[in-house]
Amino acid sequence: MRSSTSVPVSYQLVIEVPSTLHLPVGRLGEHEFPAGTYVYTGSARRGFEARLARHARAEKRLRWHIDYLLAAPGVWITRIVRSSLEECRLNQAVKGIVTVPGFGASDCTAGCGAHLRFVGASGKSAGRDRTHA
Ligand SMILES: [Zn+2]
């Protein structure tokens, strides 16, 4: 099931959390999300663009961990990055810390810890762009 071209198979969502949140995240239970910027890494081998469109949509049934975060008030996606790298490699290249162990990593076998990483407190974030897919 391998594609010979470098079509995107994984993606990253850069997510801004404007104020500290306490959210239930499915079976992971309630967790704190300090205000700041997060990077979520996911993959979709089929229906790639549909997946991205789903993330950007507000109305949906909460299914994946990321849905719980994106459904929270004030949380928005600032940037979407498409990649042909394998999901876990892409994730491990992010310099950030795991704040919610297991987040988005239910089927991760590469020891990522989580596929959501906190990359920095928000604040003066210069050059923030409001692109909302
Ligand atoms: Zn992983």
Q: For the segment 67-104, what is each residue's pLDDT rounded down to a tens digit?
A: 999 999 999 999 999 999 999 999 999 999 999 999 99
CA of 131 to the centre of ligand 1 (A): 27
CA of 119 to the centre of ligand 1 (A): 17
Record the pTM. 0.86
The answer, yes or no, to whether residue 123 has pLDDT greater than 70, is no
CA of 124 to the centre of ligand 1 (A): 31
pLDDT value of position 45:
86
User: How much of the chain, in percent, has pLDDT values that exceed 70?
Assistant: 87
More confident residue, 58 or 110: 110
CA of 60 to the centre of ligand 1 (A): 25
Measured torsion, CA atoms of residues 28, 33, 38, 43, in degrees rounded to the nearest 10: 20
Q: Side chain identity at 117, as an amino acid letter?
A: R
Q: Side chain identity at 44, as an amino acid letter?
A: A
Residue range 44-59: mean pLDDT, rounded:
93
Protein residues near ligand 1, an ion, with CB under 5 A: 88, 108, 110, 112
Residue range 116-127: mean pLDDT, rounded:
73
